[in-house]
């Protein structure tokens, strides 16, 4: 921005000197010498008054000041309402960014929480499966030998109770079944026989897979005479059942050995005597029930 000015002096205009000041910017006078051009730049927005006075070669200042009022309007981005708008937009952006970050963190926390819950549930299920696998037979899903012994020991820490009965059961000719029909057929027979016998005992009785084709029962406090009819019903039911494999009916019979616990008898002793009674039944033709006998002292 430039202003050119002149003072009237017909004698020696070239010797006229000038000074100026810009009210609103500074109050002091500034000399321009004989240069009649005033250039202004980088003025801030606002109202200014430019005053110019001249002095001739005789040293006399002009009585009247040359005055120009000047208004500098701010650029659009420097206007007050624009600044307020930009400030508001900045605050809104900060709030939106904060909300976005907060929402993102919450989603991440929720996802992590769900993952932790999922992993915890998976771990719980895995532990349950491991616990079940440790105490259940993988094929028949009946309790295994360890679970059977543990259940009885929890009832009787000093061994087996008087008049409790252990019953051993063995599928007759099981090896021939595997050889003739295959191991898949043998596995099917083990599962079906286990399910059938489990359905026929009472809720407080216990059955487990002892190993191979052998099953074991525990009857608490009933005595051999009371459980004998039940064991015979189980034997007869299995004998009459039709176990089908690949459209073939496989005849199945079982031999049972019963041992009624005696005073001071351990669980292991009772199992051995029941096993001996069972093999006695096998030796006498199979598909039988035998009760272990004790010599009177």
Read off the pLDDT of residues 18-69 as tens digits, 9 standing for 90 and up.
788 888 787 888 777 666 777 777 777 788 888 888 877 667 777 677 888 8
Structure tokens at 137: 């037979």
Beta bridge partners of 18: 33, 54
Residue 297 within any structural domain of the chain: no
Range of the domain at 30: 2-73
Structure tokens at 54: 């001249």
Q: Are 286 and 239 in contact, with CB atoms under 8 Å apart?
A: no
Structure tokens at 87: 């400030």
Residue 231 within any structural domain of the chain: yes
- What pLDDT, on the 0 to 100 scale, is given for residue 35? 65
Domain identity same for 168 and 280: yes
| Residues 6 or more apart in contact with residue 34 via CB below 8 angstroms | 14, 15, 16, 17, 18
Which of 26, 57, 73 is the endpoint of a domain?
73
| Residues 6 or more apart in contact with residue 293 via CB below 8 angstroms | none
Residue 140 within any structural domain of the chain: no
Beta bridge partners of 244: 249
Domain identity same for 119 and 228: no
pLDDT digits 0-9 by tens, 216-244 = 999 999 899 999 999 999 999 999 999 99
- What pLDDT, on the 0 to 100 scale, is given for residue 38? 74
C-alpha–C-alpha distance, residues 67 and 193, integer Å: 121
Rg for the chain (alpha carbons), in Å?
A: 55
- What pLDDT, on the 0 to 100 scale, is given for residue 279? 97
Domain identity same for 82 and 120: yes
Domain identity same for 67 and 160: no
- What pLDDT, on the 0 to 100 scale, is given for residue 130? 66
- What pLDDT, on the 0 to 100 scale, is given for residue 296? 63
Domain count, the chain: 3
pLDDT digits 0-9 by tens, 144-187 = 999 999 999 888 776 687 889 999 999 999 999 999 999 999 99
pLDDT of 273 higher than 80: yes
Which of 73, 107, 127 is the endpoint of a domain?
73
Beta bridge partners of 15: none
Which of 114, 135, 156 is the endpoint of a domain?
135
C-alpha–C-alpha distance, residues 268 and 276, integer Å: 12
Which residue, chain included where needed, has tokens 């050119």? 4
Domain identity same for 16 and 42: yes
Domain identity same for 32 and 158: no
pTM: 0.61
Pairing of the two strands 37-39 and 30-33? unpaired
Q: Are 16 and 55 in contact, with CB atoms under 8 Å apart?
A: yes
Pairing of the two strands 214-219 and 165-171? antiparallel
pLDDT digits 0-9 by tens, 182-204 = 999 999 999 999 999 999 999 99
pLDDT digits 0-9 by tens, 237-263 = 999 999 999 989 999 999 999 999 988
Residue 13 within any structural domain of the chain: yes
Domain identity same for 149 and 282: yes
CATH of residue 46's domain is 2.60.40.10
Q: Are 1 and 36 in contact, with CB atoms under 8 Å apart?
A: no
pLDDT digits 0-9 by tens, 115-139 = 889 888 888 877 777 676 678 999 9
Residue 296 within any structural domain of the chain: no
- What pLDDT, on the 0 to 100 scale, is given for residue 28? 84
Domain identity same for 196 and 109: no
């Amino acid at each position: 921005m430039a202003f050119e000015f002149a003072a009237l002096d017909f004698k020696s205009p070239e010797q006229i000197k000038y000074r100026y000041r810009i009210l609103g910017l500074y109050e002091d006078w500034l000399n321009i010498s004989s240069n009649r051009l005033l250039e202004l730049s980088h003025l801030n927005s606002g109202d200014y008054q430019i005053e110019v006075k001249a002095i001739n070669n005789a040293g006399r200042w002009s009585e009247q000041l040359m005055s120009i009022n000047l208004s500098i309007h701010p650029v659009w981005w420097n206007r007050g309402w624009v600044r307020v708008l930009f400030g508001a937009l900045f605050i809104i952006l900060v709030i939106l960014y904060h909300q976005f970050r907060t929402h993102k963190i919450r989603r991440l926390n929720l996802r992590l929480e769900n993952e932790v819950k999922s992993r915890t549930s998976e771990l719980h299920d895995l532990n349950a499966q491991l616990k079940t696998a440790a105490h259940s037979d993988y094929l028949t899903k009946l309790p295994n030998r360890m679970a059977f012994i543990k259940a009885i020991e929890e009832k009787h820490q000093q061994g087996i109770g008087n008049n409790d009965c252990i019953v051993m059961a063995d599928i007759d000719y099981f090896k021939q079944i595997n050889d003739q029909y295959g191991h898949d057929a043998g596995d099917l027979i083990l599962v079906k026989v286990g399910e059938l016998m489990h359905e026929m005992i009472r809720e407080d009785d216990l059955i487990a897979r002892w190993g191979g084709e052998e099953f074991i029962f525990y009857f608490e406090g009933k005595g051999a005479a009371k459980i004998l009819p039940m064991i015979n019903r189980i034997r007869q039911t299995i004998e009459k059942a039709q176990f089908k494999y690949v459209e073939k009916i496989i005849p199945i019979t079982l031999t049972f050995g019963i041992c009624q616990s005696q005073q001071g008898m351990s669980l292991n002793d009772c199992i051995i005597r029941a096993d001996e009674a069972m093999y006695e039944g096998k030796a006498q033709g199979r598909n039988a029930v035998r009760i272990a006998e004790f010599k009177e002292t």
